[in-house]
Structure 1
């Protein structure tokens, strides 16, 4: 009996040890898989991010909030403010800009604008977008806000509104300056804002070669512009956006690309050379196109009218507040997505146009992907005593 008990005890001990070992192995294997997933790209870049542009979904990131020198990638914000000024009617593309001495003295990448020379806003945008011209960037900054300093303050204000919390701009072109810092994450944010709200930027930054005409006291001469973004010739889906390099920043890039209605933004910073910069940007973009599927629902079907009690009218029309988009990154099929409509049986006046009265939810299985508000299409004021009196009178007359 004692022998059998001893065998049972030994069996239990061995079982527990085996179970614990299996549990530990499973935990370690799970951790290893997570690490492999996070570092699947094995980027050399010290900081990088991949974002789906339409929804802002982050598909991959590596030290994305590390504050680094952006070099000429800074000009994404400069271009954003230029296009906002155009949209507001503050400036126009055919306006003539006179180049200041300060602008003409910019070093680094430039188109050799001279003091007193004039160029159109359109041509200066080309100089910034194609040739990454520092002198053109400063000329536009001064044209919009009077001085580069005022424009830089404008840049920092815009950065705050975009929640670019890692960013401090000191100049408008990206020349080396103490404290001029941002992050891959923040670059993706401003790239998305520029690309989504001002898509005409891609008409400029996809130009491979162009020219401007210098007209100065010395006469007239053409100056060639060649795009600094070689990815345009190396990656067929590339639509922009901005390169950057200084000896201190290393090679930086915010690359935009579109394939099968999927729009991506890949940012790499502080790369060793332009070849690695471009190669790793392509790796990010290929990873994104392989791993994400954008589900879009225009939500253009008609919603039922709702009964309104105690109002000046008996019913009200409904509308979806916006279309719905979701980036599927886990391999699920869009065919698995289901919709659930949540609206009340009736409403009580008053109801204002635009009031949220319900929502539509999107699910895969039990997982909520997101929702869109359902809003009132019109205003229905509450009925007054006079309205009630007239209703009663109408009912009596009908009898």
Structure 2
């Protein structure tokens, strides 16, 4: 179980060891705003709760931005998809060429010699842990035969996922030298990709959680570019850096959910940070803010039972049972006050069928309704016959 206090302590240790300064940023609720913002920071950022399917904090989430090596998440997705479709396997081999060596010389890579042979599993590890550009290029060739064909597939997948503001020009995220043209996207689009990746191929986290990786036969040992690994339960996800994109990081962590099975996962997005210090502080602040200030709970189980009084003259019973039509799980702000408001509808005079809506449960946050669940009948209650109703009316007079 994730201990939030431990996360806080680890964050403080991280800030002391790596930055040795206090953070200049605060997450506050700006006047007139519906969600908090990071005060004094004008870059794109967001923190998203996967269980709730909603953002807790966001800024410039629709701004089109350069994404640098975050690109490699799409490269990874298409690699996993090709494996799933039996087009390649983790054991498929690739031999490095001069083209991969040329990318290595541009930086953010691992020293693998021309002629060395790696399998897809090794390429994926180098891609996601060390952000190796040459691995991205190698994977593109393994899957599509050429980078150009692979990039076409990247853009097709982006369109399929409705990433409407995303465009790829290469498989790794480096800028075009002559024009500085780069892969572009938005936080909204990248969140679509990240959630699709975690839905379809959660095994990616078994790689992104690793702080280091070695290929002994090549005498190669490398460390992760993600500076947050080892902080709390952070287990991913990807860094990126170019001059145009700035310092970028998509980070993710989990905690147990009160009364629910599984883990609650939150994801932070920080793009365009001025330096590694800013990127790390804001990412940790967003994750910690989400875990500290919000809980994901089941507020209506669906098993609750209620009773509605009926007109004993018109119906064969003087009561009818009600239950919630669905359960309700909700992301709750720990600083707010919540209550459930039960309301009933007046039934007609005809037979009441099972499953008819005769009320509602409304979740109220600080006096404001935020969620409504129908109450439906648990049984059929028939209308009394004419003579039965007449007899009941006569009896009621005496």
TM range (shorter): 0.5 to 0.7
Match of 2:243 among 241, 247, 263: 247
Change (3 A) 1:119 1:287: same
Number of the residue aligned with 1:144: 143
Change (3 A) 1:247 1:182: same
Moved more, 331-340 or 72-81: 331-340
Q: SS in structure 1 opposite 2:65?
A: coil
Change (3 A) 1:32 1:149: closer
CA distance in 1, matches of 2:71, 2:342: 42
Could you tell me the TM-score, scaled by structure 2's length?
Answer: 0.67
Number of the residue aligned with 1:61: 58
Unaligned stretches of 5+ residues in structure 2: 1-28, 258-263, 304-324, 345-351, 377-398
Structure 1 position 33, deviation (Å): 3.1
Moved more, 363-372 or 242-251: 363-372
The alignment's C-alpha RMSD in Å is 3.6
Alignment partner of 1:204 is 2:207: yes
CA distance in 2, matches of 1:45, 1:259: 29
Match of 2:287 among 285, 288, 297: 285
Q: SS in structure 2 opposite 1:200?
A: helix
Structure 1 segment 354-373 matched on structure 2, within 5 A: 363-365=362-364, 367=369, 369=371
Number of the residue aligned with 2:222: 225
Structure 1 position 221, deviation (Å): 3.3
Alignment partner of 1:129 is 2:132: no
Structure 1 position 163, deviation (Å): 2.2
How many residue pairs get aligned? The number is 308
Number of the residue aligned with 1:159: 158
Cα offsets for 1:289-327 (capped at 9, x unmatched)? 1232223589797xxxxxxxxxxxxxxxxxxx9986432
Could you tell me the TM-score, scaled by structure 1's length?
Answer: 0.67
Structure 1 position 47, deviation (Å): 0.8
Match of 2:254 among 232, 242, 258: 258
Change (3 A) 1:242 1:195: same
Number of the residue aligned with 1:172: 171
Cα offsets for 1:120-173 (capped at 9, x unmatched)? 111111101111000011111111111111111111122122222221111111
Change (3 A) 1:66 1:165: same
CA distance in 1, matches of 2:169, 2:67: 11
Change (3 A) 1:137 1:223: same
Number of the residue aligned with 1:91: 88
Unaligned stretches of 5+ residues in structure 1: 1-30, 214-219, 302-320, 348-356, 375-399
Cα offsets for 1:190-222 (capped at 9, x unmatched)? 122212321111110111112124xxxxxx531
CA distance in 1, matches of 2:334, 2:78: 36
Match of 2:332 among 319, 322, 328: 328
Which protein is bigger by CA-based radius of gyration? Answer: 1
* Aligned partners of 2:158 and 2:164 also within 8 Å: yes
* Aligned partners of 1:74 and 1:172 also within 8 Å: yes
Number of the residue aligned with 2:394: none
